[in-house]
Each structure stands twice: as C-alpha cells, then as structure tokens.
Amino acid sequence: VNFSSDNVAGISPEILAALAAANTGTQPSYGEDAISARLERRLADIFEHEVAVFPVATGTAANALALSTLVPPWGVVYCHAEAHIAVDECGAPEFYAAGARVAGIAAPHGKIGVDDLAALLPGGKGVVHHMQPAAISLTQASEAGTVYGVEETAAIAELARRHGLGLHVDGARFANALVHLGCAPADITWRAGVDVLSFGATKNGAAAAEAVIFFDPAKAADFAFRRKRGGHLFSKMRFLSAQLDAYLEDDLWLRNARHANAMATRLAKGLQQIAGVRLRHPVEANELFVEMPDPLIEALFAKGFQFYRWDGPRGNCVRLVTAFNTAAANVDAFLTTARGVNRSE
C-alpha cells in the first residue's frame, strides 16, 4: 500500500480509453487537431469565460512558462516558502523568466496571507537598484494540503492589482481544492482575480497532461512562442489534449478528486483517534502531514506501507497522499495496523 504521492497512481481508465480512441486515423499536428479545439471549448464552458489553453506535459513546465509571461527578467514572484516553484522545480521559473527571482515567504499551513504580502510591498517598486515586484503565485491546493478560500484569493488578487502584480495559481491539485470548496471553477479563478492557472491533471488521473489557462487571452499573446521555445509544443498534441478532454468529460476530474479527498478525510479521522498522533495541518484536500511516534512509523514501514518522512530521516512527521484510486480497504488496513501497533506498545 503506497501513500507516498498521488504520482504513484496509474491512469484513470477513462483517460486511457480516450488515448486509445485518439489513436485512430490522422489528425493535424501541433495542436491544430479537433480534440484540442474541443478541449478549449470545454474549458471555456467549465470556467464560464473565454480562455486561452496551452497543454504541456509537466507541472514544472506549466508553472515556469506561465510565470515567464507575468514577470520580466528583473521581476520578483512572491509565493509560499515551501511552494513547488520555490523548492521543487530546479530553478525552472527563474530560468524560463530569464533571471527573475522566486521569493518564498514562510507562513503557517502552506498558505501566504494578504498581510504577509502587504508587509513586503511595494518592495522597492520603481527603484532602479532593486528587482521589481511582478507577480504572486498561490498553490491550490497548497503544499500543506490546505486550500485557499474564495475570499482569501480575492483579497490577495486585490492587493496584487493595487501593486500592479500578476496573479498565478499553481493548480497541480486544483480539482482537489475545488471540490473541497464546492464553488464554481470561475469563483476561485478569474472572478476572484486570477490571471493564469496551471491546471493540473496528472496527479488526479492523467498520464502526463497539464494545461496553462489564461483568462485574458490578450495576456497569452506570446505564450505560443514561449511554449515552443521551451520544448512543450508537442507535435502529436492530440494525445495531451485527449487526456485533458477525457479528464473533464462527465466530471471525471471532480469525481476523482472527491474520492481522493474522501480517502484523505477517512485517514485523518482514523488517525486522530490514535494516541500520540497529531495532524500538523488541516486536511482539506488529499494530503496529510502526520506527526507520530518513531516506533509507530517504523512499524508501519515494517508492515510494508510506503510513505515519506517529511522532516528528514529522523523527523517524526510523515506525509500521506491519497489518489483517485486509493482503496478504502487500504486506508482501513493502515489504520488497523496503526491501532494495533499502538496497543502493543
């Protein structure tokens, strides 16, 4: 049983079937195909807005390319200190933005607040010696498994607008956040003031597909060139688009995310009943950060459960991630084992 990541899961059968269905006949290349056109229409419907959509194959490419459109080489992107763009992308955002700076802000539970940002702004705006504040990036759901609410997002967007900054959302787990909020996709994006979204699908059932979505197509004017230059203009684009199209069809993305989140909640509820176990952050999506005694961690490893220690090899916090296909029986097996170990301690 593997709770290491949602990336360890396979592909949703519906998406695999869509790939097979796309594999008949011929289609124009480089995104000129009918599936890519259908995907763009579908996303415009879902977001209730005109959109410019650019499929890419990794979240890192989506984030780095999206941010490169918002910031000049001398620009600063503000984000949480643990944001994927700050710590897990090998400097891709700085590279794609030709030298821009990603500035991480430490804040509780994986989320930056309007006060954290307000304290740093205007931050040398207009001073020729300083890098220039240019964008804010929020991770939705966050690296701590928490979710930005509509009002929190709108307040940050308002601050961004006031200071002339762009607002990007890293939505590698956007569906998990959305089903937690229960709002319309528009409410937590363009209506709240988001300019560009990295719309994730890989972690929630696709093989390798994410989409950069601009809510003001004028802001996407040069994106096609950036994507090509960045090596993410796929000649057989229809296979990326087919994954995303199937992901959205019949609300598969929402069903998958609801299941993953429900499994995380089930784990959280069970773990909270066990003495010595503490949740570090509220469980709002599909990730849990759990502090537990070392013997319990070791006993779970010994029983074959897979997951990561989060604070280094000696730390007593572990990360558990559920996915669209996590079996309830596996969640229960983890809980039963944990309870058993605790009783025998």
Residues that bind ligand PLP (CB under 6 A): 58-60, 84, 139, 143, 170, 172, 202
The distance of closest approach from Cβ of residue 16 to ligand PLP in the complex, given in angstroms and rounded to an integer, is 19
Six-digit token pair at 129? 């010696």
Provide the minimum distance between the beta carbon of 52 and ligand PLP in the complex, in angstroms, as a whole number: 20
**Nearer to ligand PLP among residue 141 and residue 299 (C-beta):** 141
Interior/surface letters 31-48, b for 16+ CB within 10 angstroms, e for the rest: bebebbebbbebbeebbe
Q: Quick one: 140 or 342, whose CB is closer to ligand PLP?
A: 140
Distance CA 244, CA 227 (A): 18
- Closest approach, Cβ 276 to ligand PLP, in A, equals 28
Q: Which two structure tokens, joined as six digits, stand for 43?
A: 């996303």
Q: Whole-number minimum distance, CB 85 to ligand PLP, in Å?
A: 7
Residue with smaller CB distance to ligand PLP, 40 or 89 = 89
Give the nearer residue to ligand PLP in terms of CB position, either 82 or 158: 82
Q: Which residue is nearest to ligand PLP (CB)?
A: 59
Token digits of residue 66: 């999206």
Give the span between the Cα atoms of 127 and 7, in whole angstroms.
Answer: 43
Q: Which is nearer to ligand PLP, 85 or 274 (CB)?
A: 85
CB 63 within 8 A of CB 200: no
Alpha-carbon distance of 287 to 298, in angstroms, equals: 20
Of the candidates 284, 282, 278, 345, which has an alpha carbon nearest to the alpha carbon of residue 318? 278
Distance CA 42, CA 35 (A): 10
CB of 198 to ligand PLP, least distance (A): 7
CA distance 217 to 313: 46
8 vs 302, which CB is nearer to ligand PLP? 8
| Residue among 172 and 268 whose Cβ is closer to ligand PLP | 172
**Angle, vertex CA 326, rays to CA 322 and CA 332, nearest 5:** 90
Token look-up 């001398």 returns 74
- In whole angstroms, the minimum distance from the beta carbon of 232 to ligand PLP comes to 11
DSSP 134-191: EEEEEESS-TTS----HHHHHHHHHHHHHTT-EEEEEETTHHHHHHHHTS-TTTTTGG
Nearest CB to ligand PLP, comparing residues 257 and 296: 257
User: Smallest distance, Å, CB 203 to ligand PLP?
Assistant: 7
Please state the closest distance from residue 302 (CB atom) to ligand PLP, in A.
Answer: 27
